[in-house]
Chains A and B, each alone.
Chain A
Amino acid sequence: EAGVVQSPRYKIIEKKQPVAFWCNPISGHNTLYWYLQNLGQGPELLIRYENEEAVDDSQLPKDRFSAERLKGVDSTLKIQPAELGDSAVYLCASSLRGGTGGTGELFFGEGSRLTVL
């Protein structure tokens, strides 16, 4: 079974440029998460989707960040314009929720490391 796939793995951009990250969750996982992780710290939730609905985006800086999850499968996280402080690793995770089959365990991708110069 394929895991969570993220791209690109690494991205270097100048400040004020746009950037987009893509995530393909595990097949059948209806919950998808985007996290931001700074060096040596824990993941911080940016947005959580249940199918195609964003059910928790309270921590997403909406002035420059946007996300979408078309058809409840793949998701894209965009930053426009990027700032120096956005340099971090952006993690995507998915989980199988609901009913007796869901433990809520998160499966993570390898992350997208963003460097803003």
Chain B
Amino acid sequence: AQTVTQSQPEMSVQEAETVTLSCTYDTSESNYYLFWYKQPPSRQMILVIRQEAYKQQNATENRFSVNFQKAAKSFSLKISDSQLGDTAMYFCAFSGNQFYFGTGTSLTVIP
């Protein structure tokens, strides 16, 4: 069975600094996708970044980038130049034959 593990329940970062959120997963599938979703307080869950497992190049989206280590089954999210609007719950997710979420990391950006 697939599992997605986020070992950091809560994190904080100073505004303008960089923070990395960790995620590991377990699967026997060879073709899959990985995602980071952001859910601001009382707001809609939105996609931050997507990584195709067959691509070696790490995905980037503006201030957001991932470190995808397929052999290690690791998929961390780096947020550069953190902004107050980045305060949210962040969920790592796996999509193969089914879709699985991690338990989330609550990130607080401190002014």
Give the B-binding residues of A (Cβ under 8 A).
Answer: 33, 40-43, 45, 48, 56, 91, 93, 95, 103-111
B-to-A contact residues, CB < 8 Å = 33, 35, 37, 43-47, 50, 52, 89, 91, 93, 95-96, 98-99, 101-104, 106
| Interface residue SS majority, chain B | strand
Residues of B within 8 A of A91 (CB): 45
Report whether A110 and B98 are in contact in the complex, using a CB–CB cutoff of 8 Å. no
Cα(A110)–Cα(B43), bound, Å = 7
A contact face: mostly helix, strand, loop, or mixed: loop
CB < 8 Å neighbour of A106 from B43, B96, B99, B106: B99
**A4 to B, closest residue via Cβ:** B44
A107 to B44 CA separation, bound complex (whole angstroms) = 10
In the complex the two chains form, is A103's CB within 8 Å of B50's CB?
yes
